[in-house]
Structure 1
Amino acid sequence: MKSILVPTDFSDCATAAIRTAADIARNTDAEIRLLHVYERPIYGFVDMSVDHEQNRKIKADLWEKLHEAEKHPSLEGLEVNSSLMWDKPAWEAIAHEEFKDHDLVVMGTHGASGFKEMFIGSNAEKAVRLSKIPVLTISKHEKTFSPKKIIFASNFYREVESVFGTIKKLAHQFNAEVHFLKINTPGNFEATWYSERTMKEFAERVGFKNYVPNIYNDENVEKGILNFCNSAEPDMVAIATHGRTGLLHLINGSIAESVVNHFDLPVLSIRLEEVESPTGVIFPY
């Protein structure tokens, strides 16, 4: 890992993300880039022209805050720089060409609920859906980020092989134990022997031997992951996302986004590569 991008709004959640990114950077020799986005002030709703004088003052103040954030005690001794962007939400800014070569995005999440969750969502939720870079979301930072027990929740089909490399590297870096988790639901039930075989064959294909298989039954996948984690007490959850957008996202939703929005644990979300399927369903093969 060479570089970590950390969007910040200078909140407590953003500070938790900075501290987590610092912990990761110390273990991987990565550099950190802080990113803040804002909307430029305008004169009114008619001509929508930018108030340049006011904008200069705002930029100067924001750069001062970014430079102050660079001095956070957790970042001491690390290579840190900052970027300032405008007129873009954070989830759109991280997809900018300037940041495409970063290996990981670490961002705080405030969560969202109800009407806002359905139609707007949180910045972290949208970043999970749209970012092509793996996103680690943090809601709080109570201790040094050094995961020793990682839950990888998946169907363990071939489509997921492309994302496991990131999880594998992170587990190796922190000497973490990886637990494979398959959630069985009433609408998508598998026999235990079949799920165990699917996990075993997945592990063989990705060259990963030291995993702990787990099969958990619940009414839906999100509740299954949450309830399993409540008893297993992991340090982090890893999950893949299809990155759905538009009407398809509104209808089908995203397990990864829902987990990010409702979990206190650090959640690593990795977007799956595009896979063509005439039926829209990917089967194990």
Structure 2
Amino acid sequence: MKKILLPTDFSDQAEYALKVAASLAKRNGATIYLMHMLELPSHLLSGDTNLNVPEQLLFMKIAHERFEKTMNQDFMKDINVEITVETHKAFDGITQAIRQHDIDLVVMGSSGATGIKEMFIGSNTEKVVRTADAPVLVIKNAIEDFNVTNFVFASDFTDDQKLVFEQAIDFANIYGAKLHLLFVNTPNRFVTTAAAEKKMKDFIVGFEDFKEHELHVYNDDTIEHGILNFSRSIDADLIGMSTHGRQGLAHFFNGSISEDLVNHALRPVITFKI
């Protein structure tokens, strides 16, 4: 992990994420690509540059002043940082930066979304989780010292999850974390404990890069509730799972467990796109 993208709007949640990104960068000798998307008023994007330049320069100056304040904080010392200010829409700029810099990990802050806001508006974080080619680590709260001892990897343990699991192992190995492989049983897709455990044992055959792990079958009314409740029961430091990158009507009707977790979990969540 050598390239970490951190989109920031200079909010408290973005700073929480930046502290985690800084910790990861120091541990891995990585570069942080610190990016701010200018949310310019619509008239500044009209194309009439003769009228827009003074106001654009003002917004740019404010952004760089905020960056200077950010870089002067103690937790940012001795980290290689690349700073960019863009005028794209936030989501477009983030996806473009992931490809442009061949990003290994995106770290984002989020305050979550619920109710009508969650249904009709969503968040940039949710969109990035759904579509990003790189793993996305979402941070909701202040973490004094980010360390992963217990890492829950939730899955249905089908073959298409194996590449995702390899990425989860790599992240767990950064911290020497114990992986808790979790299969959630629900009334709508119930299987016996014996069958679930066999599926999990068959799934991990051939993986040699991880040793510290446990297999868990947990019963709950929904997959999301099962993941959240199990993670709470072991005081997990991190929850990981895949996202299928659903788009359009498929996403609207089927939803996404990973996006629901990003919205509702208080613990850090990392997603890996299939």
Kept in 1, the 8 Å contact 2:242–2:258? The answer is yes
CA distance in 1, matches of 2:42, 2:110: 28
Aligned-partner residue type, residue 124 of structure 1:
T
Aligned-partner residue type, residue 206 of structure 1:
F
CA distance in 2, matches of 1:185, 1:121: 26
Q: Which deviates the most, 141-150 or 131-140?
A: 141-150
CA distance in 1, matches of 2:225, 2:132: 24
1:223 Cα offset (Å): 0.7
1:48 Cα offset (Å): 6.9
Determine the structure 2 residue equivalent to 1:92.
92
Any idea what SS the aligned residue of 1:204 has?
Answer: coil
Query: Is the alpha carbon distance of 1:257 and 1:43 closer, same or farther for their aligned partners in structure 2, counting shifts above 3 Å?
Result: closer
Kept in 1, the 8 Å contact 2:5–2:105? The answer is yes
Kept in 2, the 8 Å contact 1:100–1:133? The answer is no
Q: What are the superposed Cα offsets for residues 245-271 of structure 1, whole Å, 9 maximum, x if unpaired?
A: 111000001000000100110100111
Any idea what SS the aligned residue of 1:187 has?
Answer: helix
1:72 Cα offset (Å): 2.4
The within-5 A match list for 1:91-170 is 91-96=91-96, 99-170=100-171
Aligned-partner residue type, residue 272 of structure 2:
I
1:142 Cα offset (Å): 2.8
Percent of matched pairs sharing the same residue:
37
Kept in 2, the 8 Å contact 1:40–1:87? The answer is no
Select the structure that is richer in helix: 2
Q: Which deviates the most, 240-249 or 67-76?
A: 67-76
Query: Is the alpha carbon distance of 1:187 and 1:79 closer, same or farther for their aligned partners in structure 2, counting shifts above 3 Å?
Result: same
Q: What are the superposed Cα offsets for residues 10-54 of structure 1, whole Å, 9 maximum, x if unpaired?
A: 011000001000111111111111111023334489x67452211
Determine the structure 2 residue equivalent to 1:23.
23
Q: What are the superposed Cα offsets for residues 220-245 of structure 1, whole Å, 9 maximum, x if unpaired?
A: 10011111112111000001000101
Determine the structure 2 residue equivalent to 1:238.
240
Aligned-partner residue type, residue 222 of structure 1:
E
- How many equivalent pairs are there? 270
Query: Is the alpha carbon distance of 1:44 and 1:74 closer, same or farther for their aligned partners in structure 2, counting shifts above 3 Å?
Result: closer
Any idea what SS the aligned residue of 1:155 has?
Answer: coil
Gaps of 5+ in 1: 273-285
Any idea what SS the aligned residue of 2:187 has?
Answer: coil
Determine the structure 2 residue equivalent to 1:13.
13
Query: Is the alpha carbon distance of 1:44 and 1:132 closer, same or farther for their aligned partners in structure 2, counting shifts above 3 Å?
Result: closer
Aligned-partner residue type, residue 214 of structure 2:
V
Any idea what SS the aligned residue of 1:93 has?
Answer: helix
Aligned-partner residue type, residue 219 of structure 1:
D
The within-5 A match list for 1:158-197 is 158-197=159-198
Kept in 2, the 8 Å contact 1:136–1:269? The answer is yes
Determine the structure 2 residue equivalent to 1:54.
55
CA distance in 2, matches of 1:107, 1:100: 17
- Normalised by the size of structure 1, how large is the TM-score? 0.90
Q: What are the superposed Cα offsets for residues 105-153 of structure 1, whole Å, 9 maximum, x if unpaired?
A: 0010011111111121122111100111100000112321110100001
1:171 Cα offset (Å): 1.2
Any idea what SS the aligned residue of 1:106 has?
Answer: strand
Query: Is the alpha carbon distance of 1:145 and 1:44 closer, same or farther for their aligned partners in structure 2, counting shifts above 3 Å?
Result: closer
Instruction: State the Cα RMSD in Å.
Output: 1.7
CA distance in 2, matches of 1:78, 1:87: 26
Any idea what SS the aligned residue of 1:61 has?
Answer: helix
Aligned-partner residue type, residue 268 of structure 1:
I
Kept in 2, the 8 Å contact 1:105–1:135? The answer is yes
Asked if 1:258 corresponds to 2:243, the answer is no
Aligned-partner residue type, residue 213 of structure 2:
Y
Query: Is the alpha carbon distance of 1:216 and 1:245 closer, same or farther for their aligned partners in structure 2, counting shifts above 3 Å?
Result: same
Q: What are the superposed Cα offsets for residues 177-215 of structure 1, whole Å, 9 maximum, x if unpaired?
A: 000000011111111111111111111133344310000
CA distance in 2, matches of 1:140, 1:228: 20
Determine the structure 2 residue equivalent to 1:268.
270
Aligned-partner residue type, residue 228 of structure 1:
F
Query: Is the alpha carbon distance of 1:219 and 1:100 closer, same or farther for their aligned partners in structure 2, counting shifts above 3 Å?
Result: farther
Determine the structure 1 residue equivalent to 2:216.
214
Gaps of 5+ in 2: none
